[in-house]
Amino acid sequence: MKAIFSRRHTIAGSAALVAGSVWPGILAAQAGTGFDPPDGPMLLSRRLVREMRGGARLVVTREWDVRFAPLGKGYRLDGTQRSVSVDAPAALEPLAEFERVRRGDGKFPILLNTNGGFLGGTSIEDNALLRQAIDKARSMMAAGDKSRDTERNAFLAALRQSAARFVSRWPDDLFFPARLSHVASRELAMPNGANGSIDIAFEAGLALAGNCMDHAKRTITTRVADTARTSIESWKLHTP
């Protein structure tokens, strides 16, 4: 394990979309030493911004004191929540209070393989996850009101509920991304002829030594006809 890093850099990447598929993004700098996390105490933060109905936003920021430790051929990441802050309008106060009192330590300890990936992670590509989300949304809509007037709203609500599953699941390769920039997009064909899509965009930067995540961001956007809603997650790993 390398000494704790104090400087950061971003490696730019790009991705292109063609008919709902993804061209390979820029590969992470894994040709050198590979994943080699810092060996001292670190601070991990995650900021979630969710757009709610009526344009309201729920912003939840959590910080954990974390530490990587070698374990077998991989690593163990232990973490304890240090702080949580929630910003939300008065109408969302019950949800905001729930987030304030909820402990965010349930993800720890996290077991990582030698490449920094989550042990037990599915490693499913974003496009496969998109297909799952859309299929789930369609099945949810099929169980509800099928009238033309409510069809769009029912599908949009189901799609957003399904997309929320992404937000609760961290990327399997968060701490050493295989690609530093990529986008997945899926177009939706709705029975009433409206257009829709769900998009997942991910970008990250490595620490100066190029062997561990420094910061990352994932943006999930759902669109149906003229409505859209976005959730943005941002992670940062740095010295306390």
Average pLDDT, the chain: 75
**Residue for token digits 């910061």?**
215
Question: What is the CA 205 to chain-centroid distance, rounded?
Answer: 15
Question: What is the CA 144 to chain-centroid distance, rounded?
Answer: 29
Element housing 206 (H / E):
strand 195-206
Confidence of residue 226 (pLDDT cuts 50, 70, 90): confident
Domain range annotation of the chain? 17-238
Q: What is the DSSP letter of 50?
A: E
Rounded to whole angstroms, the Cα distance separating 218 from 121 reads: 17
Q: What is the pLDDT of residues 91-145, one digit of tens each?
A: 888 888 988 998 888 889 999 999 999 987 544 444 555 566 556 555 655 555 4
Residues 6+ apart with CB under 8 A from 31: none
Confidence of residue 193 (pLDDT cuts 50, 70, 90): low
Cβ(133)–Cβ(125) under 8 Å? no
77 burial level (CB within 10 Å; 0-12, 13-18, 19+): buried
140 half-sphere exposure, CB direction, 13 A CA radius:
18
Q: What percent of the chain has pLDDT over 70?
A: 63
Q: What is the pLDDT of residues 36-79, one digit of tens each?
A: 999 999 999 999 998 887 778 999 999 999 999 999 999 999 99
Element housing 46 (H / E):
strand 42-51
DSSP string, 58-102: EEEEEEEEEEEEEETTEEEEEEEEEEEEEE--GGGHHHHHHHHHS
Q: Which pLDDT value is given to residue 65? A: 98
178 half-sphere exposure, CB direction, 13 A CA radius:
11
* Mean pLDDT on 168-190: 86
- Closest C-alpha among 187, 181, 216 to residue 201: 181
